[in-house]
Structure 1
């Protein structure tokens, strides 16, 4: 199994990242939705939704939301939040979003907080854009919130240690073959564990070439979660806003 199929489905992944700033995330989503000017009751897919916090928040803002994630454990957890306008399904983002998952085309797809770049084969990356394009209305928006490769290279910390819920995590990072690799080791109840994360450092041009191939036009790039202007050297994020071209 690929690293993301095992690591994301463990309780340790959620323990390690439990202190993420959700207030900042919700503020970002609010700013983003206001920028996109998406009308209330529009249909939004939260692609790679994790434990659903952002899907729930989007639903509270007044949208019909479908949260999709590869992790069965996450989706099982999210089912408790479902209502008539909020649904969750297990889904691999490389696969077509079939009618039984989303019966109608959607107004926007959000892929947030570095939920892309996991695949070794670039054709898998292309499949993501293909599946999103196929499920989206003309003039709909696809937001790909990705890391800024140049900033990652400039700020890489090779080793760090952190303690969460009594577990001491050692995290080592390196850049190798255009990937940032994070090795995560720890001991719990006398047993040693080793997981890793591997994300391809896609360039702006690579991402844009995928988008254009499947009918998207990039209309904006933001550099952080406050929607400040993107700067290649100093921006921590590369938040791509794409618009689906009309077939007419």
Structure 2
């Protein structure tokens, strides 16, 4: 039986409470950078007149790639995430980029509002739709509105369900440092599920990651991601109910207009009413 996610302690927790703290998450997504955030900032500055200095919240900041990119562009940034390991990595990334004075990382649950208001709030790269109860997603929006300044804005970036269903890649093989990864994707009612099975290379005795040799990793590991595919109509309904008005909807990080069939992303730019 594969080790790791099959332990009883992990089974008792939702996938998002454990996966982002693992070395396997870091290895699988080590190639990601902050380019999407830079493209978004270019679009905000060019077309929507959103410019630094502004105090912004990176909601579900993960390992800080977007927070750091935003700080480098002149924003004062607070990053909020549930994962302690991701926040540790984010603080190191900010230090290496010499923007530690401009970015603060906090651990917390995005369903609970911070006692601070922000000029703008980002929720990027599908950091939404993880919870079992869909009303928890609504609670996130309630918290967002509580944290927005009077004339504040909210930018949400998530998957376009129509595109996902039409373009679902059901199986994939990847090779990462020390491991082969077998990936299977499937649709379950209103969710897309990604199952990942890691098998260590037989020729390797240690796994070397971005921060050196990673010791004591198992021969095999299984992980799972699940994201609820809320349609455009869900966001329109719930944004309206919490007091958000959609000003612009884009389908790409550079601000290209949303196309319901061709766009892989749904990017909403909202203002507080």
By the TM > 0.5 criterion, same fold? yes
1:193 aligned partner: 221
Looking at structure 1, the residues matched to 113 and 119 of structure 2 have their Cα atoms a distance apart, in angstroms, of 17
| Counterpart check, 1:202 vs 2:230 | yes
Cα distance between partner residues in 1 of 2:179 and 2:42: 34
Distance in 1, Cα, partners of 2:128 & 2:168: 19
Q: Identify which of 112, 124, 137 aligns with 1:95.
A: 112
Contact 2:33 2:65 in 1 (8 A): no
Contact 2:34 2:69 (8 Å CA) reproduced? no
> How has the CA–CA distance of structure 1 residues 95 and 83 changed in structure 2, closer, same or farther, with 3 Å as cutoff?
same
Q: 1:86 aligns with which of 92, 95, 103?
A: 103
User: CA distance change for structure 1 residues 126 and 76 in 2, over 3 Å: closer, same or farther?
Assistant: same
Contact 2:77–2:102 (8 Å) recurs in 1: yes
1:25 CA drift (Å): 4.3
Structure with max Cα Rg: 2
Q: Residue in 1 aligned with 2:272?
A: 244
Query: Quick one: distance in 2 between partners of 1:32 and 1:40?
Result: 10
TM-score by length of 2: 0.83
Could you say which residue in structure 1 is the equivalent of 2:16? 4
**Which TM-score applies when normalising by structure 1?**
0.91
The C-alpha deviation readout for 1:52-108, integer Å capped at 9, x for no partner, is: 1211111121111101111101112223426343111011101121x3xx3xx1110
Find out whether 1:111 has 2:128 as its counterpart. Answer: no
Residues 165-186 of structure 1, C-alpha deviation per residue, up to 9 Å, x if partnerless? 1210111001111110011111
Correspondence for 1:45: 57
* Corresponding residue SS for 2:270: strand
Alignment partner of 2:251 out of 223, 234, 243: 223
User: Which one of the candidate residues 135, 144, 164 is aligned to 2:156?
Assistant: 144
Which residue number in structure 2 is paired with residue 13 of structure 1?
A: 25
Q: 1:220 to 1:47 in 2, by over 3 A?
A: same
* Number of aligned positions between the proteins: 240
CA offsets 1:11-33 (integer angstroms, 9 cap, x no match): 11121111235435422333234
**Structure 1 stretches lacking a partner, 5+ long:** none
The structural deviation recorded for 1:119 is 1.1
How has the CA–CA distance of structure 1 residues 46 and 24 changed in structure 2, closer, same or farther, with 3 Å as cutoff?
closer
Q: 1:154 to 1:167 in 2, by over 3 A?
A: same
Q: Secondary structure at the match of 1:186?
A: strand
Match of 1:60 in 2: 72
Q: Give the match for residue 35 of structure 2.
A: 23
The Cα offsets for residues 127-176 of structure 1, whole Å up to 9 and x where unpaired, read as 10011100101221111101100000010111000001121011100111
Deviation at 1:210, TM superposition (A): 1.6
C-alpha distance in structure 1 between counterparts of 2:141 and 2:45, whole Å: 21
